[in-house]
Amino acid sequence: MQSTAQFSKSKVQCLLRHRGGNYYASAKVGGKLIRRSLDTDDYNVAKLRLPPVLAELRGAKNRAEAGSLGAAVKAEAHREDPAIKPTTRHYYQQVAVSLAKISAKLPVDPLGLSITRVTLAELRALMDKYAAATSPTRYNGCLALLRRTYARAMESGHVGSNLPAALKRVRPLKMKHDLPTAESFAKIVADILAQRKSHSKATAMAVELLAYTGLRISEAQSLQWRDIKADHLVVRTAKNDDLRQVPLIPAALELLTRLRAAGVPTGADDPVMLIKSPRIALDGSCERLGIDHMRVHDLRHLFATRCIESGVDLPTLATWLGHKDGGVLAAQVYGHLCRKHSTAMAGRVKA
């Protein structure tokens, strides 16, 4: 009995119709016939999708030498690119590990496939799972790594197009900064001290240090006593390796005085913050006091909020926070506070 042909030709060259209804692109690459589904049974849609798919198939001149997508992602994450900072490369390495864990849980592991065989649908399914398991900013970082990976693969002739370029970045959700009042913050510090653990005092002072300086946690971890000047701190900005000065507000000066009086080591190379992070203690204190959950990074927002409420302008605040945009990001995050403060100040003006 003669079998029915799987594919039939259409009026368009290299466009085949499967007997199941869907259309396929068909091209010879390196002497081998390759077919790629166009994921549609509509003839007009198939004609529109055909050219870029053919370009991808024919453009992959060295596809036979390509390895798995997972290997390519890992190689790109560890590549010493002089155009990116070591901290960014370390971030990509973390992203690559987390992406591999998500991919391994899928019915078909896209990272285990040859980079030449991974379809856009498989890549989209992987990134959808990744988006559900991580933050929007981490998703965007992962997408950037995938795009870099495919760019290198295109240079090597392993693929003909940058598939991840078809995936859109996710807009991070705007955080609601319902931060504690000065009274509530004082209660948090007092509650941490009241636990009377061996590290409670150091933890409480770490919380205060972050709230009174606006430092990122990584910046506070690397802060040494040599960086403490008479009226400011010298900080190496975590995101761009630049040095910046952060003025010491009265609360910060008082905290440093208490630290010195407590007898902690204050040599030039000694750390100012004696613990790695106050996250666990901060979580516990907020829960005990019935206060909205605070992240360690919210202490930085608390500093910025207090500065704005005290009349500090956004460009100056941006400099203190280590932003390089002259206040654009600060305006986006804290603009509502500026308007609220402006309205309050206007009420004090006498005609």
**If you write DSSP's letter for every residue of 60-91 in order, what string do you get?**
-TTGGG--BHHHHHHHHHH---TTS-HHHHHH
Tell me, yes or no, whether 314 lies in a domain: yes
The pLDDT of residue 344: 62
* pLDDT in 10s for each residue of the chain, 351 residues: 444 578 999 999 999 999 889 999 998 876 778 888 999 999 999 999 998 888 777 766 676 678 899 999 999 999 999 988 888 899 999 999 999 999 999 999 999 999 988 889 999 999 999 999 998 989 999 999 999 999 998 888 888 778 899 999 998 766 555 688 889 999 999 999 999 998 999 999 999 999 999 999 999 999 999 999 999 999 976 565 678 899 999 999 999 999 999 888 999 999 999 999 999 999 999 999 998 888 899 999 899 888 888 888 888 988 998 887 777 777 777 766 656 556 665 666 666
The pLDDT of residue 59: 64
* C-alpha span between 110 and 125 (Å, rounded): 9
CB of 199 closer than 8 Å to CB of 275: yes
Domain boundary among 112, 135, 166: 166
Query: 316 and 202, same structural domain?
Result: yes
Tell me, yes or no, whether 1 lies in a domain: no
Tell me, yes or no, whether 44 lies in a domain: yes
Query: 314 and 198, same structural domain?
Result: yes
In this structure, is the dihedral angle defined by the CA atoms of residues 240, 245, 251 and 257, taken in order, positive or negative? positive
CB of 213 closer than 8 Å to CB of 255: no
Token pair in block for residue 121: 């649908």
Query: 287 and 320, same structural domain?
Result: yes
- Domain containing 156 equals 65-166
Strands (E), 174-327: 232-236, 243-247
Query: 203 and 159, same structural domain?
Result: no
Query: What are the angstrom distances between the C-alpha of 62 and each of 56, 115, 322?
Result: 12, 12, 45
Query: 108 and 15, same structural domain?
Result: no
Domain boundary among 166, 193, 226: 166
* C-alpha span between 155 and 204 (Å, rounded): 52
Tell me, yes or no, whether 88 lies in a domain: yes
Tell me, yes or no, whether 199 lies in a domain: yes
Query: 256 and 339, same structural domain?
Result: yes
Domain boundary among 166, 200, 231: 166
In this structure, is the dihedral angle defined by the CA atoms of residues 292, 296, 299 and 300, taken in order, positive or negative? negative
Query: 158 and 78, same structural domain?
Result: yes
Query: 215 and 70, same structural domain?
Result: no
Q: Which strand (E) or helix (H) includes residue 163?
A: none
Query: 72 and 41, same structural domain?
Result: no
Query: 87 and 43, same structural domain?
Result: no
> How many domains are there within the chain?
3
Residues 6+ apart with CB under 8 A from 51: none
Query: 336 and 198, same structural domain?
Result: yes
Amino acid of residue 61: K
Do you know the residue count of the chain? 351
Tell me, yes or no, whether 187 lies in a domain: yes
Burial (Cβ within 10 Å: 0-12, 13-18, ≥19) of residue 298 = buried
Query: 290 and 255, same structural domain?
Result: yes
SS3 label, residue 311: coil
Write the CATH number for 82: 1.10.150.130
Cα torsion 242, 243, 246, 248 to 10°: value is 150
Tell me, yes or no, whether 210 lies in a domain: yes
Write the CATH number for 225: 1.10.443.10
What radius of gyration, in Å, describes the C-alpha atoms of the chain? 28
Tell me, yes or no, whether 177 lies in a domain: no
* C-alpha span between 319 and 327 (Å, rounded): 8
Q: b vs e for 224-239, b when ≥16 Cβ sit within 10 Å of the residue's Cβ?
A: ebebbeeebbebebbe
